Every structure is written in structure tokens, then in C-alpha cells.
Amino acid sequence: MSNPLNIAIAGLGTVGVGTVQVLQKHAREIAVRCGREINITAVSSRDKSKDRGVDLSGFAWFDDPVEMAKTAKADVVVELIGGSTGVALDVTMASIAAGRHVVTANKALVAEAGENIARAAEDAGVTLAYEAAVAGGIPIIKAIREGLAGNRVSRVIGILNGTCNYILSTMEETGRDFDSVLKDAQDLGFAEADPSFDIDGVDAAHKLAILASLAFGTRLGFKQVHIEGLRDITALDFVYAKELGYRIKLLGLAGQTDAGVYQRVYPCLIDQEGPLAAVDGSFNAVIAEGDFVGRSVYEGRGAGAGPTASAVVADLIDIAAGRLSLAFGVPAARLADLKAIPIKDRAGPFYIRLTVIDQPGVFADISSAFGHANISMESILQRDHDEAGNAHIVIVTHSITEGALRLALKGLEDHTAVVEAPHVIRIEDVWGE
């Protein structure tokens, strides 16, 4: 066998410890698969005294991960610290400057600084690998960058955040509201103490920006992603969605058209018989559409120590075996400028739930407001009074523009019978055109 591949690990949280466990448990199989051993030589974390359940005594310990990146006996530095700036970025750039490959699970780092990192890595003749940054254990980076390399990819759609998918699945199953389910998710460790990055859609947006760049060969455009989170979804919306034949999922949607590239993250209604509807709990799934291959679907666990560590080790095996890839499939300097399509140009059907005082003439006024905006209604549900004596009207529109919808809702803003802001959820056909 060739000389071992020596690695240093910066960050010993759940993924860092999981990476150590995978490398130790499957050392023999890994060596056979890549033709050489992968040895951990150094680690760095904030607390050396913490019991992490793995034996770290054989590794050099560094209190300063940047110093480790510069001086450790390592061919690869695995960055598992997190964050798009600060120490994580410093470790990454120091590693590259020292001629070391970088493997990371840090989606924020790749989405916000990946282009500059990739340029530096190319100049230094090393690799930036980040399979673990998107969709946990699903090998979606390799699938798009390599498996679909002969295609022009036109769309990527995915359930990209396990926390959000768990919350929505549980809300639907139990009939409980968002705040209650979120608290349980935090108690169970599925959601962070500060869950904002997850529930407000930022985490999914980081991942979508990476997938869009890979799929379309464009520069990273995280700042151009339209982002909406889960906070306005209620238990009542699940009741009506089911009656209408839909489920509610937080999706990342990216597409390349003649007009440019759209990137959107928001909760939406999808056909309950469609390919993403059955993806529940903490699972992730991605659909990629290529001109020759057609549509392909990838599903698996999207987070957690095991799936994410599995992806980290997959990158290490590729490096050990000499299978080195450009970070975004083409040289960073060849990434095309991103022409972003704004959300106002999105066209499609909508679900609109109105809470109104049950009095004569209200529905006629609603119909008039929608007609004035040239909105055609596909279906309408009107349900009994709630505890306050108000009625619920649920409207599903035909395909309309965002601008037309806003015009219609503006026409209802001052209506005395509309007692709360309309609940609006986009409807997406994830399998059609």
C-alpha cells in the first residue's frame, strides 16, 4: 500500500466524533477501498478534558485550530467548526496556504465564501471537498458534479433541512401548532436552542445556493436566494391542505431558464402523491433534472453524526485514492455570472386562507378583489365558524404572478370583514413542468 493519508480534524462535536468513529471502525475496509490507510494525526477543539466517548490519546492536541492547520503533520485538514467567517474560514485558508487539502461539512462557509476558497485551492494545487455540507448522508454533490456531468441540469428541488421537515411532519401528524412542536424538537435535540437558521430557511438557502452553482455552473448566489421560513404555518393549514390533496413541505427550488436563474426557499403545498410527499421526519430528498437523464431522485438522512460523518469520510477516501475534483465542477474563474430571477416573476398557483366575519356580501367582495386582479379561482372551500364566530374561506388559484396576488390581497386590506392577515402558501408542481 501507499503511504498513509494523514489528516487533522478541527472541531470535535457530533460530526467530528462521528468521523473519528467511522475511520476507526472501518479502518481496514477504507484502506482496501482507497489503497492506503487514513490516519488521524491531530485534533483540535475547545475543551480537551471533555469525555467524547472516543480515544483521542494517540493524536496530537492543538488548542488553536489555525496553528494546527499550519503545522500539524497532515495532508488534509477536516474543518468541522462551523460558521461562514472567523475561525472556520481562518482554518480553511491556513490549510490551503500550507498546501493541505480541505474537507468540510460547513454549508455556510461554502455558500458564502466557497468561490474564493475554491480559487485559492486551485492556485495551491489542493482540493476543497464538501459532500457533507449538503443533505447529510445523501451523496448529492458527487451525483450532480460527476454523475450528471454529461447533462445540462435545468432544475434542482429539495427538502434540505431535517429540522423543518421534522416540525412540519409532526404538526401534520399531531394537529399541534408550530410553537409547541418546535419546543419538543428542541427538547429531543432535533432543533438548536436558537433554531433561527433552520426555521427561517437560512440553512436550506445555503445548501440550495451550493446546489444551484454546481448544477448550473454559475457563481454562488446565496444573497440572491429568496427565503421564507415556517413561522406562519398553522395546524389549520394542514387540515385544509389534506382536504385539497396536498402536503406542506419547506422546499428549496432552483431552476435555470433563458431569463436567468431562480433560487427560492419557502414552505409550499405539494401533491400528496408526488415523489417528495412521503419524505418525513429528519430525512432529506433532492430531485435533479437533466436534459438527457431526465429526473433523478435522491433520498436519505439529512443530518446527524452518522450520515454527515459518512459523507466526510467519503471525501477523505476520494482524496486518498487520488480522485481529486474541482470544487464546483469547473475552474472557479469559469463560473458564469448569476443573473437572478426575482420572486416577483414567479408564476404558479396559490393557496389562500382568509378568516372573515360571516356576513352577507363578504364572498362577493372577495370575488371582486380577485377579479379586479385578473385572478381565476380553481377551487374554494368555506368552512363553519371558529370559536370567535368567524368563517374560513380557502381559495386555490390557477397559475398567477406574485404581483397579481399582491394586488388582490391589497384590495382586501381595508375590508372590515377580513379579521386577520391572509395566510398564503405557494403551490408547487415538483414533478411536472
Residue with the bigger pLDDT between 53 and 384: it is 53
Strand ranges in 213-317 using DSSP code E only, listed in sequence order? 226-227, 246-257, 260-271, 283-290, 294-301
Above 70 in pLDDT, residue 299?
A: yes
pLDDT at 414: 80
Instruction: Give all domains of the chain, ordered by start, each with its CATH number.
Output: 5-133 (3.40.50.720), 140-300 (3.30.360.10), 346-427 (3.30.70.260)
Q: What is the mean pLDDT of residues 48-77?
A: 95
Above 70 in pLDDT, residue 433?
A: no
pLDDT at 420: 87
pLDDT at 424: 96
* Angle CA 358–364–365, to nearest 5: 85
Per-residue pLDDT band at 1 (split at 50, 70, 90): low
Q: Which residue has the cell 457563481?
A: 219
Q: Which three cell numbers stand for residue 20?
A: 473519528
User: Residue 416 and residue 433: Cα distance in Å, rounded?
Assistant: 40
Residue numbers annotated as active site: 207
pLDDT at 289: 96
pLDDT at 25: 96
pLDDT at 415: 84
Per-residue pLDDT band at 385 (split at 50, 70, 90): low
pLDDT at 432: 66
Strand ranges in 85-207 using DSSP code E only, listed in sequence order? 101-104, 128-129, 153-159
pLDDT at 351: 97
Above 70 in pLDDT, residue 227?
A: yes
Percent of the chain scoring above 90 in pLDDT: 81
pLDDT at 311: 97
Q: Which three cell numbers stand for residue 186?
A: 428542541
pLDDT at 218: 97
User: Residue 241 and residue 267: Cα distance in Å, rounded?
Assistant: 12
**What value does the mean pLDDT of the chain take?**
94
Residue with the bigger pLDDT between 278 and 417: it is 278
The continuous run of DSSP H or E covering 351 comes out as strand 350-357
Confirm whether pTM is higher than 0.85. Answer: yes
pLDDT at 130: 98
Q: In residues, how long is the chain?
A: 433
User: Residue 277 and residue 242: Cα distance in Å, rounded?
Assistant: 12
Q: What confidence tens digit (pLDDT) does each residue in 333-354 have? A: 999 999 999 999 999 999 999 9
pLDDT at 22: 97
Per-residue b or e along 130-141, where b marks 16 or more CB atoms closer than 10 Å to that residue's CB: bbbbbbbbbbbb
Per-residue pLDDT band at 370 (split at 50, 70, 90): confident
